[in-house]
Structure 1
Amino acid sequence: MTITNKRAAVAVAAALSLLVSACGKEDDTTATPATDTTTTTQVSSTGTTTPGQETTTEESGSAEPTTTMVAAGYPVTVKNCGVTVEVKEKPTHVVTLNQGATELVLALGAADQMAGTAYLDDEIDPSVKDAYDTIPVLSDKYPSQEKFLSVKPDLALASYNSAFGEKGVGSREELAALGINTYVDGFACQDKSQRATVSWDSIYGEVSQVGRLLGRDDQAATIVARGTNTLAEIEQARPAEGKTIFWYDSGGREESKAPFVGGNAGGPALIMEAVGATNIFSGIDGGWGDGSWETVLQANPDYIVLADASWDTAEEKKEFLTSNALTKDLDAVQNGRFIVVPFAESTPGVHLVDGAAKVADGVKK
């Protein structure tokens, strides 16, 4: 098998025109990329390993996976957040435990491989809504372990490590003992030293990795190419050049409480960088963090991005900003320069580029 550099694969695909609630506050950007390697063994149609088809890829959690398979084969073995995941055959009972994972699997066209889903942060993306409606919803949040096991999962995919924590469906070790493979987004490893640095390359590396596990390499390549093309258009235009943005994620409406804001790494930072804007909270390390209203007032931002989540809607934040004595006179508030971005489009994943497109469109108005 010929192994091609992922960047090259993306470029070729693009030339032919052809891809995280309270849980979302898990810091996904402060760690050093992991350097462990993994082995993916492709098996021929006869069920035997073909000589020369064993390849090495970087662990999920590395900033820029450097290789990709031309075609999927089983078994597929990857090392994810320090856990060896060996998928011996094409999964047929996949359960997704967070919206990001759900929308990725559906975008890959793998609805027919799913046995259940759970935990939405906002409205499901319209592009996959019809497929989503065919999947059993096990719970509004994380399902009980009993409910989870009732659908006989062979692979559980999560955007956040909390899915396998105390309030989740069971630890990864426990589920492995039951013969259930698990996979966590490389930006959310429990061990922060194993977390990927968030970048567009690492995001699309995750898309390719999950596509490989599901036997959907071609679909993953299409997603990557489409996203790369959209991003290139936004970066070339830089519609927010010279403008400032306050990325208002949640909270901060109670006395003495700080707003939770987009920091200098992670999804919001990638979006603001792509459109050419200056983040008024660029001094906050990480994807998100506690800001201050004093900084907002001093910066008097040109635009305010409102993350829209089921647990803290954009409308609630807008109502606060327009009625609060401290914020109602901000230029952005007075002139209605609000940009609404679904929470799922602000986290590192398949729809982050859609969030970038919304911000790019918003600053043009």
Structure 2
Amino acid sequence: MMTPPERPKRTIVAAAVVAALLTGCGASVQDDPQASDRVPVMRCGEKVDYRKPERAVAYEGGSADKLFSLGLADRVAGYVMPPANPPVSESPWAADYAKVKMLSDDLLNKEIVVEARADLVVAGWRSGFSEQRGITPEILDGLGIQSFMHSESCYNYPGFPQKLPPFEALYSDLERLGQIFGVADKASEVVGGLKQRVDKVVQQAPKDNPVPVFLYDSGTDQPFTAGNQVPPNDIIRLAGARNVFAGLEARWTQVGWEAVTKAAPEVIIILDYGDQPAQKKIDFLKTSSRTKDLPAVRNNRFFVLDYNEGISGPRNIDGLEKFAAYLRGLNR
């Protein structure tokens, strides 16, 4: 998935100052009675002893949604929301967003985290955390700031990779965050509800002759699409269709238009960004000589997937339900 241009980094506060800043704390939620002060939880493939956070910082809607779905708004010091994200007012947790400070509309960086007096940062590997921008779990460990990575992003995390199917990664994240925050019972309840919704979709899904589907993220010279390590792959698969690039061991990745043409998708999913609207992408596909004759384009079979239904978070299940309903209404 393409990210907005990076802006110049500012001076980073020294580690000693960071330690002093981290003494602040916020409100608490109802904890599980057996929760201890430190709990060992996997961070990708590495076991980490977590202190119970009071001032979490979330990067993008998926991270914040996971925390809000567990009833942890009072433990969130703020969120970072770059331009790709649609307005938070559209979220099922809009009321929680309204109670929490928006820290930046830029990419995640150390200064934001330090100024927020964060004791936990929730983001994805290379989607929030970045070696190039100097904010990684290892660097934050050295500053005394805890970090949590979306399991969906862990398959190529250096040193401690972990590979889970995207929806299983979502469930795992909610359960792990439940352990870290001491709300494991709530996490089990939330995960159970999501799994029930997924099971209902699977029961209704067509079993034969799956529709070939191409996800169009962005790009004109070469398109970005979804490999098998991101939620849209599971959305397509569980709805009873077939991601034409499911064979790619990748997250958001670039392919060639020739490969798209050869795949002859019958449906195109358009990922709708806040700063790259779906209609503009549809107009391009309808007019480009490389795409206007694709079966999906000729038959006007476009399905718009909201950005926060496509990145790892509870809204993945909303996207699955909507796409499954769309597929059931197709007349092939």
In the superposition, the TM-score normalised over structure 1's length comes to 0.72
Residue 86 in structure 1 maps to residue 49 in structure 2: yes
- Alignment CA distance shift 1:171-1:232 (3 Å): closer
Q: For structure 1, which runs of at least 5 residues remain unmatched after alignment?
A: 1-19, 24-68
Secondary structure of the residue aligned to 1:209 is helix
The counterpart of 2:64, out of the listed 94, 99, 102, is: 102
Secondary structure of the residue aligned to 1:317 is helix
Residues in 2 aligned to 1:296 and 1:71: alpha-carbon distance in whole angstroms: 52
Residues in 1 aligned to 2:129 and 2:166: alpha-carbon distance in whole angstroms: 25
- Alignment CA distance shift 1:192-1:348 (3 Å): farther
Q: Deviations over 1:49-91 (max 9, x none)?
A: xxxxxxxxxxxxxxxxxxxx99533221224146553333x32
- Match of 1:182? 147
In the TM superposition, residue 197 of structure 1 has moved relative to its aligned partner by 2.5
- Alignment CA distance shift 1:162-1:230 (3 Å): closer
Counterparts of 1:215-254 in structure 2, within 5 Å, are 215-239=182-206, 241-242=208-209, 243-251=211-219, 253=220
Residue 328 in structure 1 maps to residue 275 in structure 2: no
Secondary structure of the residue aligned to 1:91 is coil
Residue 344 in structure 1 maps to residue 311 in structure 2: no
- Alignment CA distance shift 1:144-1:191 (3 Å): closer
Q: For structure 2, which runs of at least 5 residues remain unmatched after alignment?
A: 5-31
Secondary structure of the residue aligned to 1:270 is helix
- Alignment CA distance shift 1:202-1:162 (3 Å): closer
In the TM superposition, residue 330 of structure 1 has moved relative to its aligned partner by 3.1
How many residues matched? 296
Counterparts of 1:147-296 in structure 2, within 5 Å, are 147-161=112-126, 163-166=128-131, 168=133, 170-189=135-154, 190-191=157-158, 194-239=161-206, 241-242=208-209, 243-251=211-219, 253=220, 257-296=221-260
The residue identity in structure 1 corresponding to 2:35 is A
- Match of 1:65? none
The residue identity in structure 1 corresponding to 2:149 is V
* Bigger shift: residues 227-236 or 74-83: 74-83
In the TM superposition, residue 284 of structure 1 has moved relative to its aligned partner by 2.7
Secondary structure of the residue aligned to 2:171 is helix
The residue identity in structure 2 corresponding to 1:197 is L
* Bigger shift: residues 100-109 or 176-185: 176-185
- Alignment CA distance shift 1:326-1:151 (3 Å): closer
The residue identity in structure 2 corresponding to 1:250 is S
The residue identity in structure 1 corresponding to 2:36 is G
- Match of 1:126? 91
In the TM superposition, residue 96 of structure 1 has moved relative to its aligned partner by 1.0
The residue identity in structure 1 corresponding to 2:250 is G
Counterparts of 1:297-312 in structure 2, within 5 Å, are 297-312=261-276
Residues in 2 aligned to 1:154 and 1:77: alpha-carbon distance in whole angstroms: 16
In the TM superposition, residue 229 of structure 1 has moved relative to its aligned partner by 0.8
Say what the alpha-carbon RMSD is for the aligned residues: 2.7
Secondary structure of the residue aligned to 1:363 is helix
Residue 115 in structure 1 maps to residue 77 in structure 2: yes
